[in-house]
Structure 1
Amino acid sequence: MNVKAVVGLLALALCLGFTAHQASAEKKALIDQVDGAGYGTAGCGLGSIIFGAKPGKIQIVSATTNGIYGNQSFGITSGTSNCDIPHMGQQAAVFIEVNKEALRKEAAIGQGESVDAVAMILNCEKAEVRSEMKSHFDRYFSEDVDSYETVRRLLNSGVCPNQG
């Protein structure tokens, strides 16, 4: 057997062993995940499965992993990759809190990845959320409105027909 084949088989065995270990691990409740037991500031996705809730710069690596493989958005909408669907409102509120400045800037112009991510988390049409946040910016981003209130107002606005 050549060296490349041995290295390839070893890598495959490690991946399968890691995957089997992760599959057997008990999934944490969302509140535990938000508190840092299931995933850290990078959020859910492949990065959270690999790196968990370890604090510090590893969360940058976790977020980069999520971004490179593009699995976080899919996980949020499908309930996979350490993401939960039943608590989309809570997930959206956490996302809004963590991304508040970027979201504020994007909402002011009616477009951007953060605005689209909020729409995706809440299972809303992106164009509707873009328009709503831009048209009623102060309703969502005044100083007296926290992230949970932003979610509540968005859901009650009618732009998320399956939610409000």
Structure 2
Amino acid sequence: MKKLVFAVAILLASVSNAQGKKASLHDQYSGTGYGVAGCGLGSVIFGAKPGMIQVPAATTNGIYGIQTFGITSGTSNCDIPKMGQTAAVYLEANQEVVAKDAARGEGETLVDLAVIYNCQDAELFSSKVKANYKEIFTSDNGYTQSSKILSTIKNDSELAKNCSVAG
């Protein structure tokens, strides 16, 4: 079964590459970027190509906890700072509650995330997450959400001063 899944993944990757211009070997095997399926082995094999190709990428990521391993170990294109990895695991485990709290701009899960991201003012953090809700929660993937929260922190001058984020 494992060999069949891998063979289908390679076949789909080669078919998707044949449709556009030929990618360099570095781009094909480095795993730079990822699509809606998030980081993991699927992103290394299929990259950030949009469309239905993300279905086998997500399937590959989900097999045997490959994506979770990549997030916790910082491998397979899951190379966010340690606090981002911790937040990704937290977001993945508390998906529904975090999304509800973020939509309201308050709640225990946002306070927890503020602590994970080393933010001094949880209320400020919560209000900024609420303000950027549509950008952060475009995916059900904890890693993607964590990366977008990190970007929000780095791109917002108030949050950047308030949170000491590494990386």
TM-score range, shorter chain: 0.3 to 0.5
The TM-score with structure 2 as length reference comes to 0.43
Select the structure with the greater relative contact order (CA < 8 A; seq sep ≥ 6).
2
Please tell me whether Structure 1 or Structure 2 has the larger radius of gyration of its CA atoms.
1
The TM-score with structure 1 as length reference comes to 0.44
